[in-house]
Structure 1
Amino acid sequence: MSTIKDIAKRANVSVATVSYVLNNTRFVSPEKKKRVEEAIKELNYVPNAVARGLRVKNSKVISLVVSDITNPFYPDIAKACEQVAYQSGYTLNIVNTNDQDDRFIKAVMQLREGKVDGIINTTVLDHHRSLMENLIKDKYPIVLAHRLLDGINMDTVVADNIQAAIDATNHLINLGHKKIAFMTGVTKSSINNLRIKGFLKAMKDANLPTKEDWLASGQAKYQQSYDLTKELLKNSNNRPTAIINISDLGALGVLDAAGDLGIMVPEELAVVGFDDLFISSMRSVQLTTIRIPRYEIGQKSMELLIDKITNNDTNNHHNILLPAELIVRKTCGSRIID
């Protein structure tokens, strides 16, 4: 684990300067402060309050770390977490990271400093691996929800994303589609990787080709997916007849782009999303999608975390895999594909 001395060496400053930056006790020139902050980020440093004997036990606060608080995917997870936490005498603290590492590290610092008793993390990415390994080594209560990290023995609660993508792809194949594009999401996210894996497996099992430029990122967001859809559909002689988007928000961008291009859904283009957000079932949308059990993910994550905190059990780890469900609505149509 990195120390203040490591940071000082990396930033080419004194240990005292690092301490001033960390504790905000004295003025440090902007140039030195920037070097120190960059070194902290590069070394994945978080202050170990346990080693300093400063950890406050039983804060009765738990943090839920999310990547984008404006994304309607998260309220059901947060609601379940809050309800279970409240019933057990805990307060829920929501930390929004916007997938920014500095915000993620600050959330972890709250755990190390004893400001929270545990963390439910929905936003972990592969480059956070060493930080997570240090938390587990130091026996901090933490549960990964929705996203996970392969190869680390820690508590997880996730949906079966591989099977979900297989189900979505097979639904289109069974309708007769052969030219299927898959819009991916956040790079190096386990959700992204697992759903791509399921899509490619279903296509391979059906002996259908996949095109590299039809496996592109819409960032699981509306505008990026809208723009990408226009690119995919601009060539009327060589375009997909079906698009799977890794999120419902992105799928809404697909639907609007198709509409602006005068391409009819589902007659000329089938669209499938993921998540089953409330807007997907609206009469004006009727999106075929994969229902991710968001409330159950939050509920089981919080139950698991509180059990670990209550019993001081950081040695045994549990991995919960929840089924997802294909919800068929009106954005897919059957047709004969040449």
Structure 2
Amino acid sequence: MTTIKDIAQKSKVSVATVSYVLNNTRWVHEEKRKRVLEAISELNYVPNAVARGLRVQKSKAISFVVSDITNPFYPDLAKACEDLAQTKGFTINILNTDDKPDRTQLALNQVREGKVDGIIVTSALEQDREHFQKFMEQGYVIVLANRFIKGLQVDSVVADNFSGAVMATNHLYQLGHRKIAFMPGIIGSSITESRLNGYLKAMEDAGLTIYPEWLTSGEARYSGSYNTTKFLLGLPEEKRPTAILSLTDIGALGVLDAATDLGISVPDDLAVIGFDDLFISGTRSIQLTTVSIPRYEMGNLATSLLLERLEKSGKPEFQEIVLPVELIVRKTCGKQK
């Protein structure tokens, strides 16, 4: 059986440092923390109390992992999780990853150490595949929501992002736009891949040209999307888009502000569509056309799957739920040209 000493030797740190990382009790230099987490993963370390089956009391807690706690996309998912969990006597704790691998690993370790009984991850990236696979092989419970990892046998609840992007792109085409840019997000995210593929399919079906510049990432964040919009609207006229499909509503807000600062009228000179349908998107001063994601339903179903898996740990089949989305037409695309 792997011990803390084995991890210390492999990661070339002290036993005390390994303990600090495992228990999150002291600050550890990022490089050392990374080496320890890699050693834990490679050696399949499980704390002794859990590994020996000595822990008989459940924590009655769930860990809910998000990629950006400042993003208003996540509160509805978290509230749905909390609402259902409380009816079953569970509490939830929220862990923010900022899309950093070591933060996701910390969340997995909370389950291994018995601090929580299961975990819902809304921030899964392709680079997490091996960690999640080992985690499940060790008998722990995980559900993916919002993002999924293709081919990984795990319970998941996501939105139909591909169809959403097709609908949004087709809407712009039907309004007369032929120069439509798509603003991707983080690499390794199933959301980026699915929405990009939907956009590409719709553009191909319409016989439209796609310039490489039109696929410049806005990182799904306000500032990144603001800067990318300034770049796109500064392109030569033949490449300058008349419409931008943003990966998120937050990014779309950056698009709108950049257009305003450049003196470009929305929707007269530029059409804009987002994704998510956040509360702010429907306010009178913004009126953003967007693809609505059923966030509360997603959080509720993910929690239901997790609680069911905790009750029936030997259940062999995994569920992959894909929720329908809806295009919400407001004022940032205008009328048919």
The TM-score with structure 2 as length reference comes to 0.91
Query: Could you say if the C-alpha distance between residues 85 and 241 of structure 1 is closer, same or farther in structure 2, counting changes exceeding 3 Å?
Result: same
What's the CA shift string for 1:310-330, capped at 9, x where partnerless? 222452211111001100000
Partner of 1:331: 332
Question: How far off is 1:37 after superposition?
Answer: 2.8
Secondary structure of the equivalent of 1:217? coil
**Cα deviation 1:271-293 (Å, max 9, x = unaligned):** 00000000000111000000000
SS at match of 2:216: strand
Query: Offset at 1:62?
Result: 0.5
Could you say if the C-alpha distance between residues 34 and 185 of structure 1 is closer, same or farther in structure 2, counting changes exceeding 3 Å? closer
Cα distance in structure 1, aligned partners of 2:151 and 2:221: 29
- Tell me what 1:28 maps to: none
SS of corresponding position for 2:209: coil
Give me the whole-angstrom Cα distance separating, in 2, the residues matched to 1:241 and 1:44. Answer: 50
**8 Å CA contact 2:174, 2:336 repeated in 1:** no
Tell me, yes or no, if the aligned pair for 1:121 and 1:142 is still in contact at 8 Å: yes
In 2, distance between residues paired with 1:159 and 1:92?
23
* Gap change, CA 1:206 and 1:58, over 3 Å in 2: same
Corresponding residue to 1:48 among 43, 46, 51: 46
Contact 1:139 1:314 in 2 (8 A): no
Contact 1:147 1:190 (C-alpha < 8 Å) held by counterparts:
yes
Are the structure 2 counterparts of residues 314 and 33 from structure 1 closer, same or farther at C-alpha, using a change threshold of 3 Å? farther
Q: Counterpart in 1 of 2:143?
A: 143
SS of structure 1 residue aligned to 2:223: helix
**In structure 1, C-alpha distance between the alignment counterparts of 2:221 and 2:155, rounded to whole Å:** 28
Q: CA deviation at 1:22?
A: 1.8
CA distance in 1, matches of 2:195, 2:258: 23
CA–CA distance in 2 between the matches of 1:42 and 1:214?
37
Would the aligned equivalents of 2:60 and 2:116 in 1 still touch at CA under 8 Å? yes
Distance 2:205 2:174 in 1: 13
User: Structure 1 residues 2 and 67, CA, compared in 2 at 3 Å: closer, same or farther?
Assistant: farther
Structure 2 equivalent of residue 85 of structure 1: 85
* Structure 1 vs Structure 2 CA RMSD: 2.3
Q: What does residue 118 of structure 2 align with?
A: 118
- Percent identity reads 52
Aligned pairs (5 A) from 1:220-235 = 220-235=220-235
What amino acid maps onto 1:48 in structure 2?
V
Residue identity matched to 1:226: Y
Contact kept? 1:276, 1:291, Cα under 8 Å: yes
Verify the 8 A CA contact 2:125 2:149 in the aligned structure 1. yes
Within a 5 Å distance, the mapping from 1:94-109 to structure 2 comes to: 94-109=94-109
Describe the shift of the 1:259–1:310 C-alpha distance in structure 2 as closer, same or farther (beyond 3 A).
Answer: same
CA distance in 2, matches of 1:326, 1:99: 28
Which residue number corresponds to residue 16 of structure 2?
20
SS at match of 2:147: coil
1:38 to 34, 37, 46: 34
Contact 1:288–1:328 at 8 Å: present in 2 too? yes
Partner of 1:167: 167
2:267, 2:148 → 1: CA distance? 34
Q: Structure 1 residue 109: deviation in Å?
A: 0.5
* 1: CA distance, partners of 2:164 / 2:192: 12
* In 2, Cα distance between equivalents of 1:314 and 1:6: 33
Q: Report 1:55-74 matches (<5 A).
A: 55=55, 57-74=57-74
How far apart are the structure 2 equivalents of 1:166 and 1:141? 34
1:87-130 deviation per Cα after TM superposition (whole angstroms, max 9, x unaligned): 11111111111112222111111101111111010011111111
Offset from partner CA, 1:13-72 (integer Å, 9 cap, x none): 6xxx3x3222249xxxxxx97765332244462641332545454210011101111110
2:228 maps to a residue whose letter is L
Quick check: 35-44 or 315-324, which moved more? 35-44
Q: Aligned equivalents of 2:270 and 2:40: distance in 1? A: 45
CA distances 1:199-248 after superposition (whole Å, capped 9, x unpaired): 00110111111111110110111111111101110236231000000000
Distance 2:38 2:253 in 1: 37
CA distance in 2 between partners of 1:259 and 1:217 (Å): 20
For the Cα contact (< 8 Å) 1:168–1:290, is it kept in 2?
Answer: yes
TM-score (norm 1): 0.90
One-letter amino acid of the structure 2 residue matched with residue 317 of structure 1: F
Match of 1:265 in 2: 266
Do residues 288 (structure 1) and 289 (structure 2) align?
yes
